[in-house]
Chain A
């Protein structure tokens, strides 16, 4: 059962799986309004939270797919527990990361050993071919890989490049090492276990959603409250009846403020389809000023969408009228 928190009339979804379920299974899209973790300084793609239209939230609650709850306030009683568990979790994460880092170091050294061994074997062959004119040079060169690998290890923690750099270093320095293999295979230095991970290299997750479960009060969308001011408002009821009807026919709907309408109607997922209609909701006995008709019609034509005037009838059905701007020549 999906839970959606509502605060001040705004419904926000904070879980990626919930967003996926809503869109794929139920055809309710919403709009992402937060920063995307991968690219927080651009506006073309936004991330969680997902903002739902009031009509969307109400529909989901009506069909029973989602439970609406009032956004829970932080509870001072559970604060001590939460603090203690956070500290424990942090410490545990630190230990795990240290050991993982140590393991990674170890595996890297193993790989490098093989590479070094290979390189040394190749060099030895080469040496035997050119009878040792540059032995002095090689002896000097043998210090380089031993000096660089321990130095490289302690600084690469927590940095993604470190692994590539080190591998690069290992591979580039191995051809140079030509000292006798016996002295280089038992590597001196901090190979014995755990150089502890420096505290500053600890990786932290900045959680998007609340990382601990909490209890919340269910929200009744039939009743007007501070968190749900829409109940009973005629504008909301009007829009909702249109929304529900179009949704049941299989369309995908989103907000259309930029197009001067109430909803944009898509034949499928907006990711792959353009909107076909701009839906404007009018109450059954509301007179429509002619200027509004003209401006809406012109706007619809200029953005290549059909204007849809929607009106719920007293018997519950919704009547649609589409407008197309035609020129009389």
Chain B
């Protein structure tokens, strides 16, 4: 029994090959799945005949189920070829029904990701060839699931989610809309995809599941926005606008930002139309496919929007600064990573509280005295007058000049509003590699960072323990805060 050191000496027996008559007999086998354990389980083995009989029956069914082989008609199989050097699977015959939710088109070819191809192979929808030889499931597992492209763990979670009925796609930065794009109304098309199997009812809310480690991401819920008010370009906006409202969520993971108070948001009607119907505007599987998108994080526009996302703040021109203040450029990116960029979900009570407090805070433009000022100088005098009246003095060198801090200390009532005034850049680094059970669980710091960076898409961690998959997510909880700060 000692293993020899000579190579390749053990013969691995072949799997079962069905004969023609067995193939024909397989057409008429039952499709029902028997119960796992017939009846309630027993507590202790007592050696009785009844127990042994039940066990024998359960086991018999299990062996029968496992021994069945996949038999399909050649006409219903789609032929596909594995390209290892390019890392995808190319379809050599036209795709079937699965094309609605899987695969992508490129250079006139229909292609599948390796995990999708493997899943379809296990379902019996495609026949996977490699160098003209059809692959068995075992060989496909070996060839397609390598550590550097797509590991076994990734595939387990992918197939688990697919079998549950989700539509699972690879995570692509370009498919996550940045708030800037939302403001520009670039998200105008409905992108709802129906759930996977035909048995599933079409729910009106599409789920989005964000996986760690750049592997896979579910399709995003619809993001229609019909609000037409353009973002306010108010460069001299010193005082904050009314805190931006977010439309109530309807089970989708995204919220809308609506500028100003001028127009009500007519976006709600489109949202429920987008979900729940068959999407016929989708081009051939090219939904999440890499399309030419500008990476707005790398293009630095001048600050035209009220919540600009510059972090590279250059030094201001010296002539604009007061004499005793020296300006310098800063790069706030590192600091931005530490910020919590998720929209705070306020409970109903919190919202009411905020609304009631809100009435004590006025919009500066609603002030008739401010409206009465016809020039900047008059406004400054008004401010000075008010300053003297107020008990809390403000440092004049900060507030009396033309350049003032962006943020008023007593105007910031929540992190959300703070973010809207300060440049916040969403970085999109994701930690490399999935985590197996043996590896230490990532520390709280990186977990929180990931959660922040995913924006409004809920982040779910899949823990795979020797074939057993469980999903965990962290819920944010806001402690009640004292308003009189």
Question: Which residues of chain A have a CB within 8 Å of any CB of chain B?
Answer: 3, 5, 7-8, 10, 12, 14-17, 19-20, 23-24, 31-45, 47-49, 51, 53, 64, 67-69, 71-74, 79, 82-83, 86, 89, 93, 96-97, 100-101, 104, 158-160, 198-220, 235, 255, 257-258, 267-269, 271-274
In the assembled complex, which residues on chain B have CB atoms less than 8 Å from the CB atom of A41? 123, 162-163, 165, 196-197
Would you list the 5 A-B pairs with minimal beta carbon distance, nearest first?
Answer: A209-B15, A257-B465, A200-B75, A96-B20, A218-B3
Contacts between the two chains (Cβ within 8 Å), count:
269
Residue of B nearest to A23 (CB): B59
Q: Tell yes or no: B236 within 8 A of A by CB.
A: no
Q: Tell yes or no: B156 within 8 A of A by CB.
A: yes
In the assembled complex, which residues on chain B have CB atoms less than 8 Å from the CB atom of A220? 3
In the assembled complex, which residues on chain A have CB atoms less than 8 Å from the CB atom of B162? 41
**Contact: B58 with A272, CB < 8 Å?**
yes
Give the distance to chain B from A285, nearest Cβ to Cβ, in Å: 21
**Contact: A158 with B27, CB < 8 Å?**
yes
**A100-B20, A160-B27, A203-B27 known; A53-B466 Cβ under 8 A:** yes
Chain B positions 84-135 with a Cβ under 8 Å from a chain A Cβ: 119, 121-124, 127, 130-134
**CB within 8 A of B152: which of A8, A72, A199, A205?**
A8
**Contact: A158 with B73, CB < 8 Å?**
yes
**CB within 8 A of B42: which of A49, A214, A273?**
A273
The majority secondary structure among interface residues of chain B is mixed
**A40-B163, A43-B164, A86-B134 known; A207-B44 Cβ under 8 A:** no
**Contact: B63 with A205, CB < 8 Å?**
no
Q: Tell yes or no: B479 within 8 A of A by CB.
A: no
Give the distance to chain A from B80, nearest Cβ to Cβ, in Å: 12
**CB within 8 A of A204: which of B127, B163, B466?**
B127
19 more contacts with CB within 8 A, not counting A16-B66, A93-B20, A101-B24, are A20-B63, A33-B156, A34-B137, A36-B33, A38-B29, A51-B466, A67-B3, A93-B23, A205-B18, A205-B23, A205-B69, A206-B124, A206-B137, A211-B15, A214-B11, A235-B438, A271-B55, A272-B51, A272-B58
**CB within 8 A of B136: which of A16, A39, A104, A209?**
A209
Q: Tell yes or no: B245 within 8 A of A by CB.
A: no
**Contact: B65 with A206, CB < 8 Å?**
no
**Contact: B121 with A38, CB < 8 Å?**
no
Would you mind naming 26 contact pairs between A and B with Cβ atoms under 8 Å apart?
A: A10-B152, A15-B16, A17-B67, A20-B63, A35-B123, A35-B163, A36-B33, A41-B197, A97-B24, A100-B20, A206-B71, A206-B127, A207-B137, A209-B14, A210-B136, A215-B9, A215-B11, A216-B11, A218-B10, A255-B467, A257-B437, A268-B42, A268-B55, A269-B58, A272-B51, A272-B54
**Contact: B71 with A215, CB < 8 Å?**
no
**A51-B467, A199-B74, A207-B17 known; A86-B37 Cβ under 8 A:** no
**A16-B67, A43-B164, A219-B3 known; A212-B73 Cβ under 8 A:** no
**Contact: B77 with A204, CB < 8 Å?**
yes
Separation of A75 and B299 alpha carbons in the complex (Å): 50
**Contact: B74 with A213, CB < 8 Å?**
no
Q: Tell yes or no: B62 within 8 A of A by CB.
A: yes
**Contact: B15 with A202, CB < 8 Å?**
no
Separation of A104 and B24 alpha carbons in the complex (Å): 11
In the assembled complex, which residues on chain B have CB atoms less than 8 Å from the CB atom of A205? 17-18, 23, 69-71
In the assembled complex, which residues on chain A have CB atoms less than 8 Å from the CB atom of B160? 43
In the assembled complex, which residues on chain B have CB atoms less than 8 Å from the CB atom of A274? 41, 43
Separation of A84 and B467 alpha carbons in the complex (Å): 37
**Contact: B24 with A100, CB < 8 Å?**
yes
**CB within 8 A of B10: which of A208, A216, A235, A269?**
A216
Residue of B nearest to A63 (CB): B1
Q: Tell yes or no: B7 within 8 A of A by CB.
A: yes
In the assembled complex, which residues on chain A have CB atoms less than 8 Å from the CB atom of B124? 37, 40, 206
The majority secondary structure among interface residues of chain A is mixed
Residue of A nearest to B70 (CB): A206
Q: Tell yes or no: B463 within 8 A of A by CB.
A: yes
Q: Tell yes or no: B295 within 8 A of A by CB.
A: no
In the assembled complex, which residues on chain B have CB atoms less than 8 Å from the CB atom of A74? 130, 139, 142-143
Question: Which residues of chain B have a CB within 8 Å of any CB of chain A?
Answer: 1, 3-4, 7-21, 23-24, 26-31, 33, 36-37, 41-45, 51, 54-55, 58-59, 62-63, 65-75, 77, 119, 121-124, 127, 130-134, 136-139, 141-143, 147, 152, 156, 159-160, 162-165, 196-197, 437-438, 463, 465-468, 470
Give the distance to chain A from B94, nearest Cβ to Cβ, in Å: 14
**CB within 8 A of A206: which of B10, B43, B72, B152?**
B72
Residue of B nearest to A34 (CB): B122
Residue of A nearest to B465 (CB): A257
**A86-B133, A272-B41 known; A31-B466 Cβ under 8 A:** yes
Give the distance to chain B from A223, nearest Cβ to Cβ, in Å: 9
Separation of A101 and B20 alpha carbons in the complex (Å): 10
**A40-B124, A86-B134 known; A267-B74 Cβ under 8 A:** no
Separation of A35 and B133 alpha carbons in the complex (Å): 22
Give the distance to chain A from B143, nearest Cβ to Cβ, in Å: 7
**Contact: B470 with A257, CB < 8 Å?**
yes
**Contact: A217 with B10, CB < 8 Å?**
yes
In the assembled complex, which residues on chain A have CB atoms less than 8 Å from the CB atom of B63? 16, 19-20
Separation of A258 and B470 alpha carbons in the complex (Å): 7
Residue of A nearest to B156 (CB): A33
**Contact: A210 with B74, CB < 8 Å?**
no
Separation of A228 and B415 alpha carbons in the complex (Å): 49
Separation of A206 and B79 alpha carbons in the complex (Å): 12
Residue of B nearest to A53 (CB): B466
In the assembled complex, which residues on chain A have CB atoms less than 8 Å from the CB atom of B67? 16-17
In the assembled complex, which residues on chain B have CB atoms less than 8 Å from the CB atom of A17? 67
**A204-B77, A271-B59 known; A19-B9 Cβ under 8 A:** no
Separation of A217 and B21 alpha carbons in the complex (Å): 36
**Contact: A83 with B132, CB < 8 Å?**
yes
Separation of A26 and B204 alpha carbons in the complex (Å): 50
In the assembled complex, which residues on chain B have CB atoms less than 8 Å from the CB atom of A104? 24
**Contact: A203 with B12, CB < 8 Å?**
no
Residue of B nearest to A74 (CB): B139
**Contact: A32 with B466, CB < 8 Å?**
no
In the assembled complex, which residues on chain A have CB atoms less than 8 Å from the CB atom of B18? 205
**A79-B133, A93-B23, A258-B465 known; A213-B156 Cβ under 8 A:** no
